[in-house]
Chain A
Amino acid sequence: MSVKLTTLGILIYAVMALYLAAGAALASRRRAALAALAVLGLADAAAAVILRALAAARPEFMPRYEVALACGIIIYAALALALAAGAVLKREGPAGTVLFAAGFAAAAAAFVVRWDQAGHAPLQNMFEVFLCLGMLMGPITLFCRRFLGVRLEGADALIGVIILFPAGFVFKAEPQRLPPALQSFLFVPHVAAYMLSYVVLAKAAVLAFLGLFRDRPGADPGALDYAASADRVARLGFPLLTLGLVLGMWWGKIAWGDYWNWDPKELWSLVSWLAYVGYFHFRYMFGQKHRRANCAWLVAGLVAIAITLLWVNLARLFAGGLHSYAT
Chain B
Amino acid sequence: MNSLRRAILWSVLGGIFILIVLSAVGALIGSGELGRAAAEAFPGHPWVADLFGPQRPKELFNSWPLVIFWFAVAGLLAAGLAAFRRLVAAPAGLAMHLGALLVIAGAMWGSDKGHAMREALFGTVKVPSAYMPIMEGATEDRLFADDLQTPLAALPFGLHLRDFTVEHYPSDAATWALLVVAPTLDAEGNVAGVQEQLRWRVGEELAVPHSDARLTVLRYLPHARPAYAEGVRPHVEVALPGGERLALDAEVGRELTIRDAPPMRLKVVRVFSNLRVLGTGPGRRVIDAPGEGDNPAAQVQVIGPEGVWLEGYALAMETPVRSPDGELLANLRFSRPQPSGAEDDPASDAPAMELLLSCGGRQERRWLIVPRGAGVARLALAPIILGRETADDDMAAMMAPDLYLVRPVGPVSDYKSDLEVREGGRTVARRTVEVNDPLHYGGYHFYQYSYDSKHEAYTVLSAVSDSGLAAVYLGMALLALGAFGRFWAGPCRAFFSPKGNPNQTANSKRQMTSGK
Contact = CB atoms under 8 A, between A and B. Distances in A.
A147 B505 contact: yes
A191 interface: no
Given A238-B483, A243-B480, A254-B436, A177 B33 contact: no
B483 A257 contact: no
A180 B480 contact: no
Given A258-B464, A260-B107, A317-B34, A274 B9 contact: no
Contacts of A236: 487-488
B480 to A, nearest CB: 4
Given A267-B57, A318-B27, A242 B502 contact: no
B515 A267 contact: no
Interface in A241-285: 242-243, 246, 249-251, 253-264, 267-268, 270-271, 274-275, 277-278, 281-285
Given A177-B169, A282-B13, A283-B514, A255 B479 contact: no
A264 B24 CA distance: 8
Contact of A262 (B12, B61, B506): B61
Contacts of B9: 281, 284-285
B412 A180 contact: yes
A254 B438 contact: yes
19 contacts: A147-B491, A148-B505, A149-B506, A177-B411, A180-B436, A232-B509, A236-B487, A238-B487, A239-B488, A243-B484, A260-B107, A261-B58, A262-B26, A264-B31, A267-B57, A270-B19, A278-B16, A281-B13, A318-B33
B74 interface: no
B436 A246 contact: no
Contacts of A258: 129, 464
Given A235-B509, A262-B61, A287 B33 contact: no
B288 interface: no
Interface string B497-516: 00000110110011001111
B57 A285 contact: no
A181 interface: yes
A322 to B, nearest CB: 9
A287 B20 contact: no
Given A147-B505, A149-B503, A318 B479 contact: no
Interface of B: 1, 6, 9-10, 12-13, 16-17, 19-20, 23-24, 26-28, 30-34, 54, 57-58, 61, 107, 129, 169, 410-415, 434-438, 445, 447, 449, 462, 464, 469, 472-473, 476-477, 479-480, 483-484, 486-488, 491, 495, 502-503, 505-506, 509-510, 513-516
Contacts of A242: 479-480, 483
B410 A149 contact: no
B24 A180 contact: no
A271 B23 contact: yes
A286 to B, nearest CB: 9
Interface string A167-210: 00000000001111101100000000000000000000000000
Nearest to B35: A320
A246 B480 contact: yes
Interface of A: 146-149, 177-181, 183-184, 224, 228, 231-232, 235-236, 238-239, 242-243, 246, 249-251, 253-264, 267-268, 270-271, 274-275, 277-278, 281-285, 287-288, 312, 316-321
Contacts of B34: 317-318
A321 B13 CA distance: 29
A224 B447 CA distance: 52
Nearest to A304: B20
A283 B436 contact: no
Contacts of B505: 147-149
Contacts of B436: 180-181, 183-184, 251, 254-255
Contacts of A271: 20, 23-24, 27
Given A257-B445, A267-B26, A283 B515 contact: yes
A263 B30 contact: yes
A267 B27 CA distance: 6
B152 to A, nearest CB: 16
Contacts of A228: 506, 510
A237 to B, nearest CB: 9
A253 B106 CA distance: 14
B33 A274 contact: no
Contact of A318 (B6, B30, B107): B30
A239 B480 contact: yes
Nearest to A149: B502
A228 B510 CA distance: 8
A319 B479 CA distance: 31
B21 to A, nearest CB: 9
A288 B514 contact: yes
Given A147-B505, A239-B487, A274-B16, A250 B30 contact: no
The 7 closest A-B pairs by CB, nearest first: A262-B57, A180-B435, A239-B483, A264-B27, A149-B502, A284-B515, A242-B483
A259 B479 CA distance: 15
A224 B506 contact: yes
Contacts of A321: 30, 54
A204 B33 CA distance: 34
A282 B13 CA distance: 7
Given A236-B487, A257-B464, A278-B16, 4 more contacts: A177-B411, A180-B434, A258-B129, A319-B31
A258 to B, nearest CB: 7
A235 B92 CA distance: 14
A243 B483 contact: yes
B381 to A, nearest CB: 35
Contacts of B473: 250
Nearest to B447: A257
Nearest to B515: A284
A287 B412 CA distance: 53
Nearest to B462: A257
Contacts of B413: 177-178, 180, 183
Contacts of A287: 514-516
B447 A320 contact: no
Contacts of A320: 31-33, 54
A232 B506 contact: yes
Nearest to B107: A260
A120 B108 CA distance: 38
B480 A275 contact: no
Contacts of B437: 254
A232 B34 CA distance: 39
Contacts of A318: 27, 30-31, 33-34
A177 B378 CA distance: 30
B356 to A, nearest CB: 36
Contact of B17 (A146, A253, A278, A285): A278
Find the residue from A183, A239, A255 having the highest chain B CB count within 10 A: A239
A120 to B, nearest CB: 11
Which of A149, A181, A228 has the largest number of chain B CB atoms within 10 A? Answer: A149
A148 B502 contact: yes
A281 B12 contact: yes
A181 B437 CA distance: 10
